[in-house]
């Protein structure tokens, strides 16, 4: 990935200089004493926060605890689309983002391989996972989540297992009016362009020979790569297109 030109790493209260400097190096952006004019990755003693455009976002899986219990997670729309009778089940989240969909799959029992190509988003996700591992209520779920940094179009066809499920949630061009989408997506949209490789993404998922592919779309959005799904599950604002293979 190219280093984002609109981002700096900045040290907040209690930040470790070596860690902040290593983070800036990994992403390929400057370590600065001042916040950036557009986006800042602020590190402090408790983690990493992405800030900018009057918004701030830090991954926090603890906030999702309520949705993750066995009783509740099966009522999530994604889990309706992903449900299976298999005991041992493997999913690939090919567009992991901040891992909030991955954690639903992992809470349901999937072993989830997550791919994230954007180095900044991958750092935020790693930081959220690191903090979540310290919470005993999340530790078990975190053991089933495995992040791989890189492009899933290249990596999915090389997987040495055929997953039961592949989940795709690429950035949609005109996802929704910014007032209606959450902070996480508004900031991700500043870092990541809409997906222009729909065909390649779908083909790479197919090459990994999963039993099912699920694609998240806006309720009225067109289907991914012009592929007609086997069936769709519809909510108020989004839709899961399911391809049974
Ligand atoms: C809409 S967000 C996904 C949000 C995610 N479902 C969640 O729950 O947080 C899309 C993410 O997919 C990543 N992405 C898109 N294409 C990718 C690819 N080919 N390989 C890896 N990551 C990709 C983007 O960098 C972005 O972080």
Residue 50 within any structural domain of the chain:
no
Report how far ligand 1's centroid is from the alpha carbon of 208 (Å).
18
**pLDDT value at position 178?**
52
DSSP state letters, 89-136: EEEEETT-TTSHHHHHHHHHTEEEEEEE--HHHHHHHHHHHHHHHTSH
Say whether both 71 and 151 belong to one domain.
yes
Say whether both 124 and 229 belong to one domain.
yes
Question: How far is 45 from 43, CA to CA, in rounded Å?
Answer: 7
116 lines ligand 1 (CB under 6 A): yes
123 lines ligand 1 (CB under 6 A): no
Say whether both 38 and 85 belong to one domain.
no
Residue 191 within any structural domain of the chain:
yes
**pLDDT value at position 2?**
59
The set of residues, in sequence order, having a beta carbon less than 8 Å from that of 103 and lying 6+ positions away, is: 61, 64, 68, 141, 145
Say whether both 73 and 34 belong to one domain.
no
Say whether both 128 and 192 belong to one domain.
yes
Q: Ligand 1: which residue has its CA nearest to atom 2?
A: 97
**pLDDT value at position 184?**
73
Residue 56 within any structural domain of the chain:
no
- Count of domains forming the chain: 2
Residue to probe by mutation, ligand 1, list 96, 115, 154, most atoms within 8 Å of CB? 96
- The conformation of residue 159, written as its DSSP 8-state character, comes to -
**pLDDT value at position 169?**
96
187 lines ligand 1 (CB under 6 A): no
Say whether both 149 and 39 belong to one domain.
no
Ranges of residues in the chain whose predicted pLDDT is under 70 = 1-3, 174-181, 183
Residue 95 within any structural domain of the chain:
yes
Report how far ligand 1's centroid is from the alpha carbon of 187 (Å).
13
Q: What is the CATH number of the domain that holds 236?
A: 3.40.50.150
Residue to probe by mutation, ligand 1, list 170, 189, 201, 218, most atoms within 8 Å of CB? 170
Q: Ligand 1: which residue has its CA nearest to atom 13?
A: 95
Q: Which domain holds residue 224?
A: 61-244
Whole-model pTM: value is 0.94
Say whether both 93 and 23 belong to one domain.
no
Say whether both 22 and 136 belong to one domain.
no
Question: How far is 52 from 39, CA to CA, in rounded Å?
Answer: 5
The rounded radius of gyration (Å) of the Cα atoms in the chain is: 18
Say whether both 87 and 29 belong to one domain.
no
**pLDDT value at position 196?**
83
* Residues 128-170 pLDDT 10s: 999 999 999 999 999 999 999 999 999 999 999 999 999 999 9
Residue 13 within any structural domain of the chain:
yes
């Amino acid at each position: 990935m190219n280093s984002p030109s609109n981002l700096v790493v900045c040290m907040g209260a209690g930040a470790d200089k070596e860690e902040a400097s290593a983070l800036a190096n990994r992403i390929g952006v400057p370590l600065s004493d001042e916040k950036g004019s557009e986006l800042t990755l602020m590190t402090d003693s408790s983690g990493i926060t992405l800030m900018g455009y009057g918004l701030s976002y830090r991954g926090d899986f603890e906030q999702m605890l309520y949705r993750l219990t066995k009783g509740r997670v099966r009522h999530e729309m994604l889990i309706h689309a992903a449900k299976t009778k298999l005991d041992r089940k493997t999913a690939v989240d090919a567009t992991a983002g901040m891992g909030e969909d991955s954690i639903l799959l992992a809470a349901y029992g999937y072993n989830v391989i997550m791919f994230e190509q954007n180095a900044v988003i991958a750092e935020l996700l790693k930081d959220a996972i690191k903090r979540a591992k310290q919470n005993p209520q999340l530790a078990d779920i975190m053991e089933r989540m495995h992040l791989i940094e890189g492009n899933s179009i290249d990596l999915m066809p090389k997987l040495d297992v055929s997953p039961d499920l592949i989940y795709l949630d690429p950035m949609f061009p005109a996802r929704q009016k910014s007032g209606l989408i959450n902070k996480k997506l508004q900031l991700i949209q500043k870092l990541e362009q809409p997906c222009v490789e729909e065909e390649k993404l779908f083909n790479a998922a197919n090459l990994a020979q999963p039993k099912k592919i699920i694609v998240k779309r806006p309720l009225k959005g067109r289907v991914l790569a012009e592929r007609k799904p086997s069936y769709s599950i519809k909510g108020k604002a989004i839709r899961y297109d399911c391809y049974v293979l």
